[in-house]
Amino acid sequence: MKPFEISRVFDAPRDRVWQAWTEPERLKQWFTPKGFTGKVAKLDLRPGGSYHYCLTMPDGKDMWGRWAIREVTKPSKLVFVVSFSDEKGGITRHPMSPDWPREMLSTVELEDLGRKTRVTVTWLPINAGDTELKSFEDGRESMKQGWGGTLDHLVGFLKKG
């Protein structure tokens, strides 16, 4: 299966973009889909660590997620398994798409372009059955839109300084 990949160049040095991806108070401010707000962010940034977060949806409901961190290569690469979660950090199904893969291997690469940084995000389902794999394939346009909105938030966050 071909992974989903999205890439964007940011008008900020790599160290600053790395901070945005690796500091919980910064992540909480931008790592959300359009219309959502970050509410809780607890990060243990190390292989074997995790990031547990809560997003408030436009309708006021909370949605939890988590990363199980596999690799941290400062300032260029993060690898983690992303899942929907409950308040206690347990893995749950996507609240609006029950056939969505429960676990997604996510790789975030930051390429130094001088005063700019290219961020490439790659997603690939792991431990997924046929129904989940089909949902992933069918969801590529939705992932493009969702990640596009999230990366738009990162642009705005980085402009704030």
Residue 153 corresponds to which tokens in the numbers above? Answer: 């938030």
CATH number of the domain bearing residue 26: 3.30.530.20
- Give the Cα separation of 12 and 118 in Å (integer): 9
Could you tell me whether strands 77-85 and 103-113 are parallel, antiparallel, or unpaired per DSSP bridges? antiparallel
Quote the number of domains for the chain: 1
Q: Where are the alpha helices (DSSP H) in 23-115?
A: 24-30
Mean pLDDT, residues 104-132: 97
Domain interval for residue 36: 4-159
Answer whether residue 140 shows pLDDT above 80.
yes
Instruction: Give the pLDDT of residue 161.
Output: 73
* Of 40 and 117, the one with more pLDDT: 117
Identify the weakest region by mean pLDDT among 35-44, 70-79, 129-138: 35-44
- Give the Cα separation of 76 and 97 in Å (integer): 32
Answer whether residue 134 shows pLDDT above 90.
yes
